Structure 1
Amino acid sequence: MTSPDDYTDDKPSMTIHCQDNASVGVAFCDRFSFDADSVHYAVELRAPGLTARANEVVAWIWDSDLTTFLEALATDYRGWDGERSWQTHDRDLTVSAVFRSGGHVGLTWSLRPWPQDAGGWGASVTTWLEAGEQMAFLAAHVRQFLTGEQQ
């Protein structure tokens, strides 16, 4: 399930919880912009024994949008074969999706800040959501977070 978190200091945030294990989740927070061409934000991964954070993930207006990827997954609620993936231009955030029987989508959220640097790190968690409405709800909340529009 996804939930927009309380707005604090006029900065929106949202959390995606795994329906199979609520202690596994992904949080989007600390959104800011320098200009009209990009949005910067932090992504936090959480699971038992794991907390990882990338402080400056960048979404470019000319880049392939995460919300478009999530909306396409929601539209294909009957399922698909194989894995579908999306990543930021800088490749510091990757999202991979698989469909399993019973109408559930597994989203693996992977952080790898500074992928070109030696000694970098990577972490990932997988959240499971129902296909269709929960995916559409997720896409809408991600769009709301990235655009800064409050509902």
Structure 2
Amino acid sequence: MSTHHTATDTPTAVTVRCRDNDAVTLRLCDPSRPEDDRVLYAVEASAPGLAARVDDVVAWPWGTDLPQFLEELAADFRGWVGQRVWQTLDRDLTVGAAFRSGGHVGLTWTLRPWRSACCGWEASVTTWLDAGEQMSALAADVRSLLTPPAGNHGRSATPFSI
């Protein structure tokens, strides 16, 4: 997992790499705060033969959002039965989580770019992470990305790796 930070230590991208195949990645990037009540960001999925991107995914500061979902998964590092699912209000990003023996979490990230069209495409990648520290780090990075300090609009390409 890697994160790109600004000079004030706010990430501008979070990249999730599959522990089983480094070629499978999910990237949350390009955050912007057009209004105080939301953050817009892009989601990129890539794997051999696949490159997909959805722009203008919305993170709201109220309700259950992606950082809280990931934090709950990290807190349940001993595992769970079945699949847990979270999605944006617009359903342009869905995350399914499954626990595998050996302490690994599979996150299936599904992108659907057209919120209102009846026909369109969707793409999914599954990243496998260690249930404990990697999930906790991902949750913290995503929270930092999607809740930047007000007034911080700077961007930088300085990489930071976990």
Q: Classify 1:102/1:12 alpha carbon distance in 2 versus 1 (closer, same or farther; 3 Å).
A: same
For CA contacts below 8 A with separation 6 or more, give which structure has more relative contact order.
2
In structure 2, stretches of 5+ residues that fail to align are: 153-159
Measured in 1, the distance between the counterparts of 2:115 and 2:41 equals: 17
Match of 1:60 in 2: 60
Q: Does 1:121 align with 2:98?
A: no
Q: Does 1:4 align with 2:35?
A: no
Query: 1:113 deviation in Å?
Result: 1.7
RMSD value over aligned CA atoms? Answer: 2.0
Which structure 1 residue ranges, 4+ long, deviate > 2 Å from structure 2? 5-8, 148-151
Q: How high is the sequence identity, in percent, across the aligned residues?
A: 56
Three-state SS of the structure 2 residue aligned to 1:62 is coil
Q: Classify 1:6/1:36 alpha carbon distance in 2 versus 1 (closer, same or farther; 3 Å).
A: closer
Q: Is the CA contact (8 Å cut-off) linking 1:86 and 1:95 kept in structure 2? A: yes
Match of 1:79 in 2: 79
Match of 1:19 in 2: 19
Normalised by the length of structure 1, the TM-score is: 0.92
Measured in 2, the distance between the counterparts of 1:22 and 1:7 equals: 25
Q: Is the CA contact (8 Å cut-off) linking 1:63 and 1:89 kept in structure 2? A: no
Normalised by the length of structure 2, the TM-score is: 0.86
Query: 1:114 deviation in Å?
Result: 1.8
Three-state SS of the structure 1 residue aligned to 2:19 is coil
Query: 1:61 deviation in Å?
Result: 1.6
Q: Is the CA contact (8 Å cut-off) linking 2:94 and 2:109 kept in structure 1? A: yes
Q: Does 1:35 align with 2:48?
A: no
Aligned residues: 149
Three-state SS of the structure 1 residue aligned to 2:141 is helix
Q: Is the CA contact (8 Å cut-off) linking 1:39 and 1:59 kept in structure 2? A: yes
Measured in 2, the distance between the counterparts of 1:86 and 1:11 equals: 22
